[in-house]
């Protein structure tokens, strides 16, 4: 489970009821919701939360570095609360499900100096792709 709520409290982030419900919806392991999914879940918990509040809160959380935006294959942006734990993503090519994965090794160190073109490396983003079990089963039935 992510520690988003704890991190926000530790920063002294102003926790209104609306902002809290957005953070609660995002908090968890393997959470990669779109803004519309966050809105739907937040309004189910707190009907008076507005679209603008959800979008503004998501933007602020990204600006603070507490949530990262994940975009795959031109699909809608998704929001990942595991911003402080190094990980990569495993994406289903069928339904778009995203899972956090923690491969071994050092992807920064694995890039040979000859392939760095003088860059001072700061990070790496890798995406693993495949079919989730449900999509793989569906494909074999077709």
CA distance 85 to 109: 18
Residue ranges per structural domain of the chain: 4-80, 88-141
Q: How far is 26 from 20, CA to CA, in rounded Å?
A: 10
Q: Among the CATH numbers 3.90.1150.10, 1.10.10.10, 3.30.365.10, 3.40.50.2300, which is that of 4-80? A: 1.10.10.10
Give the model confidence (pLDDT) of 48-94 as tens digits. 999 999 999 999 999 999 999 998 877 789 999 988 888 899 999 99
3-state SS class at 127? strand
Quote the CA–CA distance of 84 and 138 in Å, as a whole number.
Answer: 35
**May I ask the CATH architecture of the domain 88-141?**
2-Layer Sandwich (3.30)
pTM of the predicted model, to two decimals? 0.82
Residue in the structure block whose two tokens are 């519309």: 36
For residue range 96-111, what is the model confidence (pLDDT) as tens digits? 889 999 888 887 888 8
């Amino acid at each position: 489970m992510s520690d988003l709520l704890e991190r926000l409290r530790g920063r002294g982030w102003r926790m209104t009821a609306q902002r809290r419900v957005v953070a609660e919806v995002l908090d968890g392991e393997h959470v990669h919701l779109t803004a519309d999914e966050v809105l739907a879940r937040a309004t189910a918990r707190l009907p008076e939360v507005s679209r603008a509040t959800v979008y503004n809160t998501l933007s602020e959380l990204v600006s603070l570095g507490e949530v990262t935006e994940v975009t795959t294959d031109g699909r809608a942006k998704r929001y990942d609360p595991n911003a402080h734990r190094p990980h990569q993503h495993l994406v289903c090519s069928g339904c778009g499900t995203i899972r956090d994965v923690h491969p071994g090794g050092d992807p920064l160190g694995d890039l040979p100096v000859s392939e760095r073109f003088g860059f001072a490396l700061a990070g790496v983003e890798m995406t693993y792709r495949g079919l989730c079990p449900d999509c793989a089963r569906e494909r074999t039935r077709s």
